[in-house]
Amino acid sequence: MIGLVGFDGAVEAGVAAFCAGAEPPGDQEVWRRLTGAGVEPWLADRLLVFLPMAYTRRLLPNVAFHDVLVTPSGRVDLRDEPVFLAALARAQQADRGEIERIALRSSEFNAINNALNAGEKLEELVPGETSAATDLRPVEPGDGGVPSPRAIFNAMLDGHDVRLDDGARAETKLFVHPAPDGMVMVQIDFAVAHPALAAPWLVESLAGFGATWREAIGMAVRKFEGGSLHPIIDGLLRPGAAPDQVERSRHEHPGGMFELVLGHQVNTFTDQTVPSIEPLLDRLLDTLRAEPLTRKVHALRVFTAYQDGRLQTNEVLLDSRPWPAGETVVAGSPAPLPTGMVGTRVFGLLVPVDGP
């Protein structure tokens, strides 16, 4: 599954390579950052060339650029290059800092800037075809070392015969966090919209790290698949599709009866056996009775981290928003382990039950 093709993750890796550091990096440094983190040379080639071209088109949308890159061995039609198309789509979301860092280094931008300095008018400029001094390496099978979160999520849904219709949507977003040299740190948002949800979007954010993009993205994906995916499928998108991966229990609430569709507990930061946080979950559900709930599907997510019994991270989300009353319950509860670092995460959906 981690080898599925798609380049939404790859362009984020490229943007990070261009934008890291206080000063703009040279091409050799961008190449080192990419290939050093596991990006295959053929993909690194394309990110190094295509991202500046894509960002220049975002910066200068009214200039009639050619859809061709001329190389020593022939002409490359950019419309047939998936990496360029992914870069072009990503450029539409770019902020000013990204545009300045990436677009301003392109030969196309420099040519136009020189023409303007010579007295040409932007609206009258007709750029020539862009040339590269060397050929692009041949495309190789696979994702080039950077898995696509979007393709992975879609494959997970397809694997459970989930068909999104009637206003349902599934999306992903990869965020790259600053990390020491030789390390990749990411966050992936897995988001679902559905008419049955109490909130417009259900968003589960998972972090991952590693020496390569594959390792970091793979860690985040495994966390999502281990704890959040199956409640979303079995409780919302295709009820009954993953019965052996969830626990179901009734929850009485003043607003009506709900069924809690709960995923597996995900433990991190330790190799020790971590006890179930079911007692904490029971206290949270008791506290939830004081919260007004609509007759829609509500999401509950708990993530805690402790160091030697001291609470370091306390995140309780109700419908993907912080729930202060739940955080108070966590703060007053004992740590799962008295020593060492330990993290626990659990996710579930509260599905309204009609009738007895």
**Which residue segments constitute the domains of the chain, with CATH numbers given?**
8-131 (no CATH), 147-238 (3.30.160), 246-356 (3.30.500)
For residues 106-135, average pLDDT: 88
Answer yes or no: is pLDDT of 118 > 90: no
Quote the pTM value: 0.93
Answer yes or no: is pLDDT of 1 > 80: no
Beta-strand (E) ranges in the chain?
Answer: 68-71, 74-77, 130-131, 169-177, 184-193, 202-210, 247-253, 256-262, 266-268, 298-307, 310-318, 321-322, 341-352
Query: What local confidence, expressed as pLDDT, does residue 169 receive?
Result: 96
Query: What local confidence, expressed as pLDDT, does residue 127 receive?
Result: 86
For residues 255-271, average pLDDT: 97
Answer yes or no: is pLDDT of 2 > 50: no
Helix (H) or strand (E) holding 330: helix 324-331
For residues 93-110, average pLDDT: 94
Query: What local confidence, expressed as pLDDT, does residue 121 receive?
Result: 84
Answer yes or no: is pLDDT of 3 > 50: no
For residues 322-350, average pLDDT: 98
- Work out the percent of the chain whose per-residue pLDDT is above 70: 98
**Contact residues for 285 (Cβ-Cβ < 8 A; gap 6+):** 251, 260
Answer yes or no: is pLDDT of 5 > 70: no
